[in-house]
Chains A and B, each alone.
Chain A
Amino acid sequence: MIHLRNVRFKYNSRYILNGLDLSVAPGDRIGLVGPNGSGKTTLCQIIMGLLAPESGDIEIFGKARVEEQEFQEIRGRIGFLFQDADDQLFCPTVLEDVAFGPLNMGKSPTEAKRIVTATLASLNLKGFEERITYQLSGGEKRLVSLATVLAMEPDMLILDEPTSGLDEETTERIIHILSESHLTFILISHDREFLEKTTNKILKIKNGIIYEA
């Protein structure tokens, strides 16, 4: 699904990614680990086309991706969960926020509402539609962010520290959701136990390259 070759990315004259290669095949459940500042988030943002690498090839869903236009195609198919849910939720109500993606994908308002209801129900968030997003608790915000991503019915997920700062119960819920789903995903986390329960492959970023751990 994803092939990165020799990707280099410089931040403040330091190479964060230095000739990195990465391949993601369908069915992969990859845990991405590495010290703080090692470039995990940067890598994911490059895949989503939010950052442009200095050099290297990016091939996603069988096509080379360079221009913004080419990345727009993939954004509906790869759901990206941000580290901070406050960045992701920007509409006043949960309904509008979860519907934002489907509407952008060209769904009709009725369809979008149906998707929202189904997605919320699948995450045990029934009845959250009219809740105000910035009044949700930290755990609820994270789950609703996940709903906004899943509502786009992606082929693949990228989750940037989905459990950081969450209580055990919400973490368990996310583990459950991920192990139930059949999606391919890349998961950034520092939580070994969490990764063991959800992933089938662990990759480590160090000195700008990826190692299999």
Chain B
Amino acid sequence: MDIEEFALDNSFVHNLDPRVKIVCALIFSTVVAVNHWIPAAALAIVFPMVLIVAARINVRRVLSRLAVVNTFILFLWFFLPFTFPGEVIYFLGPLEIHREGLLYALLITLKSNAIVLMVIALLGTSPVFNLVHALSHMGIPDKLVHIFFFCFRYVHVIHEEYHRLAKAMKIRSFQPRSDIHTYRTYAYLVGMILVRSFDRSKRILAAMKCRGFKGKFYILHHYEMRKCDYLMAMSSVMFSAALLVVK
């Protein structure tokens, strides 16, 4: 898992002003989230797809990320068609499948995928540090920005720590089985990850303090809106507006 895996390439989308990206992603997500019309939700997916192509992001990696999101959505398909009140269109043994339930599940699937794709296309293509900068440029309170940054930072650290421990288990021939030894080992692993990442987070803070950190991040890159940023902002606002009025 590399959170910034899409961020290190170079393209028109990558080089957009991160402030524009955040605002565009926010407007788009809000519009998509409040929309209740399936064709509009289907149409909404087009925009992030265009951006993903323009950003030359590895499509297979995008699909594997979508697979994770859709695993959760799959559960909705197990329940909604049977439980959502509405017209019965099919009998599956003793179970009734309702039309409205199916449509509702479809709507949620389209909306979630559109939003996730947009987040990958816009936010995924900026390094997290740039997004952090952009947020503080936009006047978001420092504390919130720091929480966001450190969440990212520590998820990364915890993940590395996990890999190190998992390797240490592997080289001593650990094979997960369904027995108490396996459960205990996994419990140790989780416990150790917690303790270690807590210690590491303390060391990182100490190192930051030693370099004069007093609770404020200073900004090295100052952003400047360029033509393509205005273009992106405009087209995204127009597309979002179109989604709103299309019905």
Contacts and interface: CB of A to CB of B under 8 A. Distances in A.
Contacts of A87: 200, 203-204, 206-207
A76 interface: yes
Interface stretch (A21-29, A54-62, A101-109, A194-202): A101-109
Contacts, number: 74
A104 B129 contact: no
Contact of A92 (B127, B209, B214, B219): B127
Interface in A84-126: 84, 87-88, 90-93, 95-96, 99-101, 103-105, 109, 112-113
A164 interface: no
B87 interface: no
A166 interface: no
A100 B216 CA distance: 11
A12 to B, nearest CB: 15
Classify chain A's interface size: 20 to 34
A96 B208 CA distance: 13
B211 A100 contact: yes
Interface in B197-220: 200, 203-204, 206-214, 216, 218-220
Interface of A: 45, 48-50, 72, 75-76, 79-80, 82, 84, 87-88, 90-93, 95-96, 99-101, 103-105, 109, 112-113, 132, 148-149, 152
Interface of B: 4, 8, 127-129, 153, 200, 203-204, 206-214, 216, 218-222
Given A87-B204, A96-B129, A103-B218, 10 more contacts: A76-B212, A92-B128, A100-B208, A100-B213, A104-B212, A109-B218, A109-B221, A109-B222, A112-B218, A113-B220
